[in-house]
Amino acid sequence: DAKTTQPPSMDCAEGRAANLPCNHSTISGNEYVYWYRQIHSQGPQYIIHGLKNNETNEMASLIITEDRKSSTLILPHATLRDTAVYYCIVVAGGTSYGKLTFGQGTILTVHP
Amino acid sequence: GAVVSQHPSWVICKSGTSVKIECRSLDFQATTMFWYRQFPKQSLMLMATSNEGSKATYEQGVEKDKFLINHASLTLSTLTVTSAHPEDSSFYICSAMIGAYNEQFFGPGTRLTVL
């Protein structure tokens, strides 16, 4: 599976949009981009995923560049409860189906 | 969304004893579940893939005789840490896969402390 690169930490003011970048320059055509987050001492939570089109759900939006080498997770109105570690994961199908390789992620701190 | 539970949420045991951790999918059936381990200030590491009705597949470096996995039904997978030692102290997390797009739902985790 393609490796991902994320900034180790980011800050965001409450109520503002949080934009979390992820580089995945070696992504291949059948690999999806997934985002999960982990609040301290809890299990990770699924946020969103996409292949090449931009995606939006009730939690966030995912913007994938046209060349698919990078993506941005957008939390439109961050709250204090969004403080967590955010993981960008690229996953293929086939024999790797289902396996998630977690990197170090981005620690997002939302402050008042 | 789908709910995955784990039991117990925390456990303290003596060195040399065995500990069983349960992972249940509460409102869906999961043919595939995963077990992860997370040490303090580190990321999650996949230990094994648990498939209902068949043997688990272990990641490289994970001792299958030490970490016994049983996936006897579509809603339950168990991880038994045999002859636990202090270095096995960690946060153990399971997940269950649902749907056609690799969506995984994670349990709340089990904190294991081996004295």
Do A42 and B109 count as a contact with CB atoms less than 8 A apart? Answer: yes
As a whole number of angstroms, the distance between CA A50 and CA B103 comes to 11
Beta bridge partners of A18: A75
Structure tokens at A54: 């931009």
Is A5 in CB contact (< 8 Å) with chain B?
A: no
Do A100 and B104 count as a contact with CB atoms less than 8 A apart? Answer: yes
Instruction: Tell me phi and psi for residue B61, to 5 degrees.
Output: 90, -5
- Average pLDDT on B68-76 reads 91
- Of B105, B109, B111, Cβ closest to residue A46: B105
Please check whether residue B107 is in contact with residue B93, taking contact to mean a CB–CB distance below 8 angstroms: yes
Identify the residue among B33, B102, B113 best suited for mutation to test binding to A, counting A beta carbons within 10 A and taking the highest.
B102
Q: What is the pLDDT of residue B104?
A: 84
Q: pLDDT grade, residue B12 (50/70/90)?
A: very high
Identify the residue among A38, A104, A106 best suited for mutation to test binding to B, counting B beta carbons within 10 A and taking the highest.
A38
B104 or A76, which is more confident: A76
Percent of chain B with pLDDT strictly greater than 90: 76
- Average pLDDT on B25-29 reads 89
State whether the Cα torsion B62-B65-B69-B72 is positive or negative: positive
> Is the pLDDT score of B10 beyond 90?
yes
- Average pLDDT on B68-86 reads 94
A102 vs B contacts (CB less than 8 Å): 36, 43-45
Instruction: Tell me which residues of chain B have a C-beta less than 8 Å from any C-beta of chain A.
Output: 1, 4, 6, 32, 34, 36, 43-46, 49, 91, 93, 95, 97, 101-109, 111
Structure tokens at A1: 């599976």
Q: What is the pLDDT of residue A42?
A: 93
Q: What is the pLDDT of residue A19?
A: 98
> Is the pLDDT score of B73 beyond 70?
yes
Q: Which residue of A has its CA nearest to B111?
A: A41
- Report chain B's mean pLDDT, rounded to a whole number: 92
Do A46 and B34 count as a contact with CB atoms less than 8 A apart? Answer: no
As a whole number of angstroms, the distance between CA A86 and CA A71 comes to 13
Q: What is the pLDDT of residue B1?
A: 67
Please check whether residue A6 is in contact with residue A88, taking contact to mean a CB–CB distance below 8 angstroms: yes
Do A44 and B34 count as a contact with CB atoms less than 8 A apart? Answer: no
pLDDT in tens, chain A (112 residues): 668 999 999 999 999 999 999 999 999 888 889 999 999 989 999 999 999 999 999 999 999 999 999 999 999 999 999 999 999 999 876 545 678 889 999 999 999 9
Beta bridge partners of A104: none
